[in-house]
Amino acid sequence: MKNICLLGATGSIGEQTLDVLRMHQDQFRLVSMTFGKNAEKAIPLIKTFQPKYIAVGDMDTYQKVKQASFSHECQIGIGEEGLIEAAVMEEVDIVVNALLGSVGLIPTLKAIEQKKTIALANKETLVTAGHIVKGHAKQYGVPLLPVDSEHSAIFQALQGEQNKNIERLIITASGGSFRDKTRQELESVTIEDALNHPNWSMGAKITIDSATMMNKGLEVIEAHWLFDIPYEQIDVVLHKESIIHSMVEFHDRSVIAQLGNPDMRVPIQYALTYPDRLPLPETKRLELWEIGSLHFAKADFERFRCLQFAFESGKIGGTMPTVLNAANEEAVAAFLAGHISFLAIEDLIEKALHRHSVIQHPSLADIQEVDKDTRGYVNSILT
């Protein structure tokens, strides 16, 4: 029996993690969970899974949960302190970080210090402070297990292999909601258009990131840290069907790919069971004759400018990826609120990157200050 802490229980990854736990109740127990404000969705989950500890985003949500009637005893925390408490509980074996944004960084670091295995679905943790997180994981001997389908695919392809034999990582990308539109056509797209992803069911922020290809850019930076691979050895290829989740090419030109129908429960479960595997009967079996054909295209940096920003920021290093992530989070929030156009997301990110003076070896305090400063700058442009 593995005891699980789930950070971000009401989000898309959180819900699918709970699906896995529900299917394997003899293997996993949810001992702590966190969510932001969606008490209506969370309260039934609390009643079903009966975690010992719950953390919520604010006092209003705390009051809603406090007033609910549960058949078991549980503690309730609030804010970042609550996130940390959930992650460092003594019983916890694995922390699934399914939080949205850079809020996942500190709880992850604290969990590593308590030698909890980290199942990481929160890209921003490594994008914002990859050198600190990896240093922490090495210091405390803690594995970082990828949950993103692309990184899980690479991780699976590398089982039994040696990193010294890697020629390159090939990360696949669906292309998002607007993969078939020209930049001119993007000028008039709506929020509803952007949220209509052709392959995956995800949260609003990640779906917008997919449409801008920032999601793939963040994955490139994450892959750099997870697998210790230079950016020059990471490629992105457009693959509309999302059947091949990523590939690894070795020095002998052999390429190993991981395939499957789009279902996030597969990589989630693999992170929870590694190095073992459990059945997942509810996911659809891949029948290649039903697919018929697979399509690939080279990623165009001029068409997908956010992907270019990510590669450039990663290569510069230091605090530049922190700026990239913070500016993107604020710009996407502004788009979802109807304050800016879709293409203005790129413009805001570019302005934030151009104004920043890089700190090459930032401390955690430096990263937090740069993150705060960048958000303030982007919002000052919006007002």
- Flag whether 13 is marked binding: yes
Q: Is 37 annotated in some ligand binding site?
A: yes
Annotated ligand binding at 10? The verdict is yes
79 is in an annotated binding site: no
State yes or no: 150 annotated in a binding site: yes
Distance CA 207, CA 177 (A): 8
Q: Is 216 annotated as a binding residue?
A: yes
Query: Environment class of residue 134 by beta-carbon count within 10 Å: exposed (0-12), middle (13-18) or buried (19+)?
Result: middle
Instruction: Return the closest-CA partner of residue 33 out of 100, 103, 82.
Output: 82
124 is in an annotated binding site: yes
Show the tokens assigned to 307. 């992907």
Distance from chain centroid for Cα 236 = 17
Write phi, then psi, for 77 (nearest 5 degrees): -115, 170
Is there a binding annotation on residue 12?
yes
- Token duo for residue 146: 């990828």
Q: How distant, in Å, are the alpha carbons of 96, 115, 327 from that of 17?
A: 8, 21, 29
Q: Is 148 annotated as a binding residue?
A: yes
How far is it, in rounded angstroms, from Cα 130 to Cα 138? Answer: 12
339 annotated to a ligand binding site:
no
User: Is 203 marked within a binding site?
Assistant: yes
345 is in an annotated binding site: no
User: Is 71 a known ligand-binding residue?
Assistant: no
Q: Which of 7, 36, 37, 4 is nearest to 22 (CA)?
A: 4
Q: How many CA atoms lie within 13 Å of 349's alpha carbon, on the beta-carbon side? A: 29
> According to the annotation, is 228 in a ligand binding site?
no
Q: Show binding-site residues for 1-deoxy-D-xylulose 5-phosphate.
A: 123, 149-150, 174, 197, 210, 215-216, 219
Q: Show binding-site residues.
A: 10-13, 36-38, 122-124, 148-150, 174, 197, 203, 210, 215-216, 219
Q: Show binding-site residues for NADPH.
A: 10-13, 36-38, 122, 124, 203
Q: Show binding-site residues for Mn(2+).
A: 148, 150, 219
